[in-house]
Chain A
Amino acid sequence: MPATHPGRWLLAGILLTLLLLGLGLRVGSYATDYAFIIKTLRHYDPTDPAQLVLVQLRLPRLLLAWLAGASLALSGYLLQTLVTNPLADPYLLGTASGASLGAIVAYLFFPALTLSGLYLPPLAALAGGLLATVLVVAIGSRRGRVLPAPLLLGGVAVGALAAALGSLITFLKADQGNLQVVVFWAFGSFERASWAVLGYPAAVLAGSLALLIFLQKDLNILLLGEERAQALGLPVARLRWLLLALVAALTGGVVALCGPVGFVGLVVPHLTRGLLGTAGRANLAFCAVLGGGFLLACDLLARLLYPPAGLPVGLVTALLGVPFFVSLLRKTS
């Protein structure tokens, strides 16, 4: 399919997502066939444990995986546009390392994992991620303008600092029992999914996509470089702030709920541009759909290979993503 048919690619991505959702609904400890799935979706009976599992556990898990993939892919796309650097990924702003630090503090300093009735790990991860993001943005901006190079370097520096602090705390505080918990949090997982937590990532993703579709042309102009974008009348500074805010909101929620899932935000934007061109009009939507599908596929594979909990999804994204990414790089170069 040539790049001039973005609609077909988008349709293919949506169909792939639906196929993966269908397959994903079948995988789990309870044996469920499609007749049972259809029956459950039509007449849900929460007193049947298998139906409860299907509706309350499997479906939210798949939706969270999709939302996480879509949000991270979109964030990666936006950041690569913002800093005009193809190496940027959603964690460039320090969100992942800050969130990991927050989670480590929660796990190692609060063994009960609650404070005044609040469940700490996701809150601490969100707080850590946002703090790191604020710090990186402060480093990367001068007099209200976001500068790509300092932002990039600030992200690397804050990421390294948060990782070092996390390692220091782990070294001083962890024993063999809780070390495993900290390490596994850092691999990422969708096991905490529930209908109650899906609202935030869904609302942020839908809001971001709606806003960005209006700004698609501006984003393409930004890719031409700051000077040319300004010469063409684009409010570059304002646009960059908006993109930063969207990336922080998209990534922060995902990391707080799922842990830092790597590689999807780097691979999928590249694949999107490879298939649809650098400035295609369906790029943003396709990138989100493809990112969601990619994480759905990774989660499905992880659970099929290593039931019941599955391999850490972050490992699968890297194992699948890296060879694919390298072959893509070789083709495009």
Chain B
Amino acid sequence: MRVSLYLPLGLLGLLACQPENKPTTAPATMQVHDDLGRALTLPAHPRRVLALAPSLTETLYAVADTATIIARTQVDDYPAAVLRKPLVNSYPLDMERLVALHPDVVFTIEGITPPDAAARLGQLGIPVYYQKYRRVADVLRGINDIGRLLGRPAQAKRLTDSLQAQLNGLAKPVPGAARPTVLALASADPIYVYGQNTLFTDEIRLAGGQNAVRDTFPQPFPALTREYVLKMNPEVLLGGRFGKLDSTFFKNNPELRRTRAYQTRRVYATTPNLLQRPSPRIVEAVRELQALLRK
């Protein structure tokens, strides 16, 4: 059954590859390992690339020759130029369309693309390179990795040096001063939050605060009870404007009006698609968090 499914896709991939792939010399390749430790064979000079995560599309636009970016996904919206690229659906993954685009390499993030889809693409000759991040430094390292893989290490380094300099230039928290505890909502009903093992923990640390969720749960975005939120008693809540959450989230969960965040009205919205994306705009996200903490 599996073979019969792969065969038509494989043939399609081969047919799709034929018109433009007529190498005169054997293509040079390189052996690499992605962040999940998967061994991959990539062309030494990838000319056709795409990303299945919006943050990585942003990274490609910042590092790659934009002419080599061959497609976007339905969630990509930054930079605006990406909207002119052909569309390939990342969820559910439009395997056939992706194969027809015959990319040299596809970049994605752990948790975004199912491993079995990556394995199938690998069998069809399309390497899928996973990145994963726990800290902001990992994002900068990931940008440099992509630069190296695409033969543009200097551009990547310039970018990450600049980002690092901006991070270094952020105002440091006053030594000894308590860091405010910040709870970031991923969903208000049911209550899902940014857990300890998300990038948010490091972003908010760099911004001078701390993730209010101290326990580490198996899921990056754990579901919480109101009782747990009350016990945490966060000083800042991220997830929407005060007025909006007051008429929705706090109206449905009036007990949470006792939290310090509500009492002091430190309830804020963040720029859509900024905090969630481990992209070159990550310093912008940290800066926004810092500005919110200083309000």
Q: Which residues of A contact B (CB under 8 A)?
A: 28-30, 49, 52-53, 56-58, 112-114, 117, 119, 121, 171, 175-178, 180-181, 184-185, 189, 191-192, 194, 308-310
Contacts and interface: CB of A to CB of B under 8 A. Distances in A.
B91 A309 contact: no
Contacts of A185: 190
B226 A119 contact: no
A130 to B, nearest CB: 21
Contacts of A194: 254
27 contacts: A28-B225, A28-B227, A29-B230, A30-B231, A49-B233, A49-B258, A53-B227, A53-B231, A53-B255, A113-B189, A113-B248, A114-B248, A119-B248, A119-B252, A175-B75, A175-B91, A176-B112, A177-B186, A180-B192, A180-B221, A181-B187, A191-B226, A308-B224, A308-B225, A308-B228, A309-B224, A309-B225
A181 B190 contact: yes
A308 B231 CA distance: 11
A114 B221 CA distance: 24
Interface of B: 75, 91-92, 112, 186-192, 221-228, 230-231, 233, 244, 247-248, 251-252, 254-255, 258
Contact of A113 (B188, B221, B222): B188
Given A177-B186, A181-B187, A181-B189, A56 B224 contact: no
Nearest to A184: B190
Nearest to B251: A119
Q: What 9 A-B pairs come out closest when comparing CB atoms?
A: A309-B223, A308-B228, A29-B231, A29-B228, A29-B227, A308-B225, A53-B227, A28-B227, A57-B227
Contacts of B75: 175
Nearest to B188: A113
Q: Which of A175, A189, A191 has the most CB of B within 10 A?
A: A191
Given A52-B255, A309-B191, 20 more contacts: A29-B228, A49-B230, A52-B258, A53-B230, A53-B231, A56-B255, A57-B255, A112-B244, A114-B247, A117-B247, A175-B91, A178-B187, A191-B191, A191-B226, A192-B252, A194-B254, A308-B227, A309-B222, A309-B224, A309-B228
Given A49-B258, A52-B255, A175-B75, A181 B192 contact: yes
Contacts of B230: 29, 49, 52-53, 57
Contacts of A309: 190-191, 222-225, 228
A30 B188 CA distance: 22
A114 B248 CA distance: 7
Q: Which of B75, B190, B221, B224 has the most CB of A within 10 A?
A: B190
Given A56-B255, A112-B248, A119-B248, A177 B187 contact: yes
Nearest to A179: B91
Nearest to A191: B225
Contacts of A176: 91, 112
Contacts of A180: 187, 192, 221
Contacts of B244: 112
Nearest to A121: B189
A124 B92 CA distance: 27
Nearest to A303: B225
Contacts of B254: 194
Nearest to B248: A114
Contacts of A56: 255
Nearest to A308: B228
A28 B227 CA distance: 7
A53 B226 CA distance: 9
Contacts of A57: 225-227, 230, 255
B223 A29 contact: no
Contacts of B251: 119
A124 to B, nearest CB: 12
A3 B277 CA distance: 63
Nearest to B187: A181
Nearest to A310: B225
A143 to B, nearest CB: 44
Contacts of B225: 28-29, 57, 191, 308-310
A18 to B, nearest CB: 22
A324 B211 CA distance: 43
Contacts of A184: 190, 223
A177 B221 CA distance: 10
Contacts of B189: 113, 121, 181, 192
Contacts of A29: 225, 227-228, 230-231
A178 B227 CA distance: 23
Nearest to B222: A309
A310 B222 CA distance: 11
A52 B256 CA distance: 11
B233 to A, nearest CB: 8
Contacts of B247: 114, 117
Given A113-B189, A175-B91, A176-B91, A30 B227 contact: yes
Contacts of A191: 190-191, 225-226
A114 B189 CA distance: 12
Nearest to B190: A184
Contacts of A52: 230, 255, 258
Contacts of A308: 224-225, 227-228
B149 to A, nearest CB: 26
Contacts of A30: 227, 231
